[in-house]
Structure formats: structure tokens, C-alpha cells
């Protein structure tokens, strides 16, 4: 028997990611975004959703570029700090002791200290209501040299990314491998 | 120092979810989808991406409705089996011993045995390349009575959802709570 919770944006698990962009003056900004997902395999695309109230929304409208920065769980305080203030008011990257690196493939910075970044050209803008969905074509994926292979178990465990739970407004870690794709047919 | 992996659809973590829909004859189908994400808070929307080769693509084009079914990690074999065959050839739900329940709010079924379902009206179809993104407005969220509260730690731990890793084609569990939103400012 199921209980109705009403219409609500609940999907488990959702990634906790940081969007980086440049403003009109070329200043790097970082913003933690709750809503994102891969939306195409070829060309590889990722979608992020932003409110017009954010500084990042207008940055991307101007530059048509952004990066999706994937944190490790040890970076939870930085991730959280990028969610708490606006880039209009503060240099959030400097305050967190993080270094923006200019992408060579799109007009946006990525965070040097984070283990992974997707460098994206914004190709579509879809108005949905409170949020606008930005579809970004992934032009390259960068991973820190010291991250690759450190777990011996693939990129997921190398990175140890953060999960965001909208239900209890918390960050979680990723746990253990449960099975390989193909387990149901004995692969 | 970062290494380039080339353009690739890698986002960590990504949810492992099952899309349910009806075909023209009203038969329920289930399909595991790799690509999804929340795309708006109000109205709440979820986006899923499908290839035209899937049975589900044409079902949703016909019915304009689908459900996003969130599994628990114990259901990994069913989730995997829904990824391995097409609904054109088999009654995948029956073969997995799962029960489709007709939604009262959209023209699509959800899986009785899964802990959670988002009932969605398809409102936009966006061609991106190999995949078409379907934006669904979430009309209701259903959670099993026996799931709610069983962990004492919120819905994420009540459900214990599956993570999909495209890098090593594996399913992972969700781990422990790392922090609450607001940790960076002492909340």
C-alpha cells in the first residue's frame, strides 16, 4: 500500500555538484546546484537547472558555458559554502581556498582542487517554471591525476562523490558496489 | 594536474531508476534508464532520456505519461533485468514477479513492490542526439507505507536507493550521512 506525498521534486540519489562560470568581467564564480543529470550519450550532454535569482544563471546566459565540478566527500564544507552565498556578494572560491582554472575548451573555469570537471557548452535553455534547464554539451571531462586509480575500483570509488538528499537537506556518501550490470543474466 | 578523458557522459552519482509506461494496448512495461534528474522545483519536474529504439519511447509518445520507480538496493536483479530485454519481446514485470498498479493521476503504471514512484505527465520532448529528453511534471509521489520511517533517518535511508556508475557499468549503494546542508555556516 502506498501513501501520497503530493507533487514534490524527490529523486534518489541526486548528485551534489558545483557549477562554475565567469561573469561579464571574467570573474570566476562557483554555485552548488541541486538539480542535474546526464541527458544524452552522444553527443554527451548534462542538464543543470537554475533559478533566475542566481548569479550563475546570468553568467551562463552571457558566456554560454559552464563546468560541472564533482566533489569528493571530504569537500563537503566547500560544497555547502558555495550553496550559502551569492557570487554577487563574495568571491566564494577565494573564501574557500579553491583555485579556478580557465578551461581550454569552453569559456568557463573549473576547480583545481575538485577531482573531476565536465566542461560544457550551453546549447539549450528550457523554461520550466521556478527553474530554467540548461543543457550543456560536454566538450571534455577532466580528472585529477592523483584521483585516477586511487581506489583500484573505478572512477566512482576514486572520486567518492557526494549525494544530495532534498528530503532531509543532507549530504551522503556513496557506499559499496552492489552488482555489475548484467547480474540478472549471470554476467 | 588534470588528465583529459575526452567528451563522455560521466556524472557521479547518477540514480538507477525504472521507467514504467503503457503501450497502445494498455500493457505495462518497465525499463531501466541510465539518464535522469530533477529539472524544476515548482512545478516539480523530472527529466528522463530515452533512445528511439526503446519500446518505452513510443509508449510515452502515445500516452504522454510515465512513472519513475525508485528501487531499493535489494531489488538490483529486477532493476538489471529491466535493462536487459525489450518490452516488445517479453512481459518483463511478470517475469520479475512484479505488480504494475494503475496510477490514478497519470496514464501509466507504477511498481507495487518498489518503495517509491514519481507519477509524471510528459510535458516536453527535447531532441539532443542519440537520446530524446522527456520532461515530466511530477503530479504525485507515492511511497510504500512499510518504507516510510523504517530507518529513522529520512527517506534516503528508508529507501536505500541504487547508484548507477556508467564508468564501470555497476550498481552501488548509498552510504552514510556526511553532513547537513548549512554545515559550512554552523547550521
Contact B161 A12 (CB under 8 A): yes
Average pLDDT over residues B62-84: 97
At A65-117, the pLDDT tens digits run 999 999 999 999 999 999 998 999 899 999 999 999 999 999 999 999 999 99
At B3-24, the pLDDT tens digits run 999 999 999 999 999 999 999 9
What are residue A1's DSSP bridge partners?
A: none
- Residue B156: pLDDT band (50, 70, 90) is very high
Q: Quote the minimal CA–CA distance from B175 to chain A in Å.
A: 4
CA-to-CA dists, residue B156 to A69, A76, B21, B44, B91, angstroms: 23, 18, 25, 18, 30
Q: What's the mean pLDDT when you consider all of chain A?
A: 96
The torsion of the CA quartet A77, A80, A81, A84, rounded to 10 degrees, works out to: -160
Contact B136, B38 (CB under 8 A): no
Look at the block and give the residue holding cell 540548461.
Answer: A134
A61: containing domain: 14-177
B183 occurs within a structural domain: no
Phi (first) and psi of residue B127, to 5 degrees? -75, 125
Contact A70, A114 (CB under 8 A): yes
Q: Quote the minimal CA–CA distance from A31 to chain B in Å.
A: 14
Q: What's the mean pLDDT when you consider all of chain B?
A: 96
Residue of A nearest to B115 (CA): A2
pLDDT of residue A183 exceeding 80, the answer is: yes
Q: What is the per-residue pLDDT for B97?
A: 96
Residue of B nearest to A148 (CA): B3
d(CA A158, CA A140): 19
Task: Please give the share of chain B, as a percent, with pLDDT higher than 90.
Answer: 95
Chain A with chain B: Cβ pairs closer than 8 A = 354
Q: What is the per-residue pLDDT for A185?
A: 81
CA-to-CA dists, residue B52 to A29, A43, A71, B35, B56, angstroms: 38, 15, 33, 14, 9
Q: Quote the minimal CA–CA distance from B18 to chain A in Å.
A: 12
B23 occurs within a structural domain: yes
Average pLDDT over residues A122-144: 98
pTM tops 0.90, yes or no? yes
pLDDT of residue B186 exceeding 80, the answer is: no
Angle at B100 between CA B97 and CA B105, to 5 degrees: 165
pLDDT of residue A186 exceeding 80, the answer is: no
Give the total number of structural domains in chain A: 1
Cβ-based neighbour number of residue B42 at 10 Å: 13
- Please tell me the number of Cα atoms within 13 Å of A144 on its side-chain side: 17
Contact A176 B172 (CB under 8 A): yes
pLDDT of residue B187 exceeding 80, the answer is: no
- Residue A148: pLDDT band (50, 70, 90) is very high
Q: What is the per-residue pLDDT for B51?
A: 98
- Please tell me the number of Cα atoms within 13 Å of B12 on its side-chain side: 33
Residue of A nearest to B178 (CA): A172
For residue B30, what is the domain's CATH number?
A: 2.30.110.10
Amino acid at each position: 500500500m502506498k501513501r501520497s506525498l503530493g507533487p514534490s521534486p524527490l529523486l534518489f540519489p541526486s548528485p551534489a555538484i558545483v557549477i562554475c562560470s565567469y561573469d561579464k568581467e571574467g570573474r570566476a564564480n562557483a554555485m552548488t546546484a541541486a538539480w542535474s543529470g546526464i541527458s544524452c550519450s552522444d553527443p554527451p550532454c548534462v542538464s543543470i537547472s537554475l533559478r533566475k535569482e542566481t548569479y550563475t544563471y546570468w553568467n551562463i546566459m552571457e558566456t554560454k558555458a559552464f563546468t560541472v565540478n564533482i566533489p569528493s566527500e571530504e569537500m563537503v564544507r566547500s560544497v555547502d559554502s558555495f550553496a550559502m552565498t551569492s557570487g554577487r556578494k563574495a568571491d566564494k572560491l577565494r573564501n574557500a581556498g579553491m583555485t579556478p582554472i580557465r578551461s581550454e575548451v569552453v569559456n568557463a573555469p573549473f576547480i583545481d582542487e575538485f577531482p573531476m570537471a565536465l566542461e560544457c557548452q550551453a546549447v539549450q535553455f528550457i523554461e520550466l517554471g521556478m527553474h530554467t534547464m540548461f543543457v550543456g554539451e560536454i566538450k571534455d571531462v577532466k580528472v585529477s591525476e592523483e584521483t585516477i586509480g586511487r581506489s583500484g575500483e573505478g572512477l566512482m570509488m576514486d572520486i567518492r562523490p557526494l549525494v544530495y538528499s532534498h528530503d532531509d537537506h543532507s549530504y551522503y556518501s556513496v557506499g559499496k558496489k552492489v552488482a555489475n550490470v548484467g547480474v540478472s543474466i549471470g554476467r
